[in-house]
Amino acid sequence: MTATAPIIGALASQNCQACPIRHRAVCAKCDDDELVRLERMKSYRTWQAGETIVMEGGTLPFVGSVVKGSASLTRYLEDGRVQMVGLLMPSDFIGRPGRSTAPYEVTAISEVTLCMFDRAQFEALLKNSMQVSSRLLEMSLDELDAARDWMLLLGRKTAREKVATFLALVLRRAPVSASPLRCTLPLGRDTIATYLGLTIETVSRQITALRRDGLIRLEGNGRTILCDDLTALLVQAGEDEAGTLSR
Amino acid sequence: MTATAPIIGALASQNCQACPIRHRAVCAKCDDDELVRLERMKSYRTWQAGETIVMEGGTLPFVGSVVKGSASLTRYLEDGRVQMVGLLMPSDFIGRPGRSTAPYEVTAISEVTLCMFDRAQFEALLKNSMQVSSRLLEMSLDELDAARDWMLLLGRKTAREKVATFLALVLRRAPVSASPLRCTLPLGRDTIATYLGLTIETVSRQITALRRDGLIRLEGNGRTILCDDLTALLVQAGEDEAGTLSR
DNA sequence: GGCCCGGTTTGATCCAGATCAAGGCGTGGC
DNA sequence: GCCACGCCTTGATCTGGATCAAACCGGGCC
C-alpha cells in the first residue's frame, strides 16, 4: 500500500535558492541553516496526469510540497460516489506530520512534481524550528478557511453559483490581468463535477448557460475560458461580498 | 463591531490545574512555566444560548478555548442562506493567530464559557513555545480533517445518510457506553438543518423515518435520542468504513 | 480519407428534497 | 383553566439537478 514510484521523472536534487516555490511553501520563512537541513532530506519525484500518488487509507512515507502541476484530494463512499476535498497547487503542502496514513486519495491532475521530505527527519526538524512549524500552521489555517468556504458552496449554492464560483477561482489565478482574462482549465468536466458536488452533465449545462448569458466565452476544445467581466461572474457566484474569494 | 460582553457570567479566574479541558485544549502539552504565562493572560466569559459571540466579518479581540457548552461557526450567502461550517465543543480553539477578523459568525448554541487569551500576548507566547504551537497545529489539522469529512457529507450524501451521520456523531460522545446509548441533543432541528445543508422539514422527516425503521427511538420532546445498535445506524450513514467517524 | 476513442454537449424523463401550508403538542404566563 | 408561543411533525406540491440516452466533435492512427 506504499506509494509506488514511477521510475520516470526522478529529478536531480536542485538548489532550494532557485526553487520556484521558495517563498510560498512550508520553507518560506527558513533561514540558510534550516534550508541546508531541508536540502539534505529532500528528493524530487514526478507523477503523470491521472496517476495515483496515495490511495485512501494508504501509507504516505513522506511529506512534501507541490513544486509544479496540481493534485487532488478525494474521498469515496462505498458505493463509488466521490467528492474532491482539496485541490493542491504549487507550494501547497501534502501529508500530515505525526500520521503516515492518508485519509483521502491523492491523485495527479496534471503532471505533478513533489519536493518530498523524509517523514521522520521532517518531524524532527519541525520540533525545533519555529520558522517551519509556524509557516505550516499558517498554511494549515489557510486550508481550513478554504475548506469552510467550500462547505458553504457544497451545502447551499445552486449549480450555477457553484460553476461560477469555480470559474472565478481559476480565472483569478490567470496570468496577470490582461483583458479579457484567459485561462486553460487543468481539469476536465468530470473532475470539476467531483470538485463541485455535481454531475458532469450539470457542469456542462451550466457552463453553456453562462456562455449563453455572455458571462464567459469558450475557446478551442472547451478547456479555455475567457472572461471580460470578472465582477459580473462573481455576482453569479452568490457570495455575500464579491471580495471573499480574494482572501 | 467588537464582541460585546454580556455583563452576566463573568467568572473569577480559575486555576488551570483544575480546568476540565486542561489535557485536551491548546494548553495540553504546556509545562508549569507556560501554564503560568497563560494564566496571566486569560479571562473567562459566558454567553447565553443563542447569543452572538462575533459577527461574520467582525473583530474578535481574543483567541481562546471552549471550556463548557458548545458554539457554532456559520457562513451566510447574501440572500440569507446559511451553512454551519464548524461546531465547537469543549477544548476546541476559537480564533486565528495573526488575524483578528472573523470570517464567519460565532454563536453560542447552548450556554457557553470561553477561556479567552489576550490576542497579542498569546501570539507572543506562540512565537517561543513549541508546546503551544505544536498543539495548535495538531488541533488545526484535526479540524481540517473534520472539515473535509463534512465536505463529503455535504457534497454527496443523501438526506437519510446525513441525518444518520449526525446522530451517530452525537451518540458517540454519549456518556460512556450504556446500552441503549442515550443522548440529549444540544441543537434544535433548525440548527441541525443548518449543519447538514438541509431544511428543517427534511431533517424532521428523516428522523421520523429512522425511528420508524427501528434504528433510533425518541424520548420526551424529541430532543433525546436512544440507540440500541450504533453499528446499524453507522451503516445508514454510508461511510466506506464504519470506523471512519472514530478518527 | 475513414475510423475509433475520449471528452463534451444536448435532450427527455425522473425523483429527492425544497417549498408552501397546516396541524400537533408541551410549556409558561395570566 | 385557557391561551399564546416555540418547536416539531405531517401533508401536498413543485422543481433543480440526477439519471438515462444519444449525438457531436476533434485528434490520432491506420
Among positive and negative, which fits the CA dihedral B72, B78, B80, B82? negative
Minimal Cβ distance to A151: which of B76, B127, B147: B147
Judged against a pLDDT cut of 50, whether residue A6 lies above it is answered with no
Helix (H) or strand (E) holding A205: helix A200-212
Distance from CA of A85 to the nearest CA of B (A): 6
Q: What local confidence, expressed as pLDDT, does residue A64 receive? A: 97
- The percentage of chain A sitting over the pLDDT mark of 70, rounded to a whole number, equals 90
Give, in order, the Cα–Cα distances in Å from B222 to each of A95, B42, B167, B207, B230: 42, 38, 13, 10, 19
CA A105, A71, A238, A147: dihedral to nearest 10 degrees? 50
Q: What local confidence, expressed as pLDDT, does residue A9 receive? A: 39
Task: Provide the grid cell at A244.
Answer: 471573499
pTM confidence score:
0.92
Q: What local confidence, expressed as pLDDT, does residue A237 receive? A: 96
Round to a whole number and report the distance in Å from the CA of A71 to the C1' of D29: 31
Name residues of chain B where pLDDT drops below 50: 1-10, 244-247
Minimal Cβ distance to A133: which of B81, B97, B133: B133
Q: Assess whether B64 (CB) lies less than 7 A from strand C.
A: no
Looking at every residue in chain A, the average pLDDT score rounds to 90
SS3 sequence of A8-62 = CCCCCCCCHHHCCCCCCCCCCCCCHHHHHHHHHHEEEEEECCCCEEECCCCECCE
Is A130 in Cβ contact with B75 (below 8 Å)?
Answer: no
Q: Which of residues 215-234 of A touch B (CB under 8 A)?
A: none
Name the nt closest to B196 by C-alpha to C1'.
Answer: C17
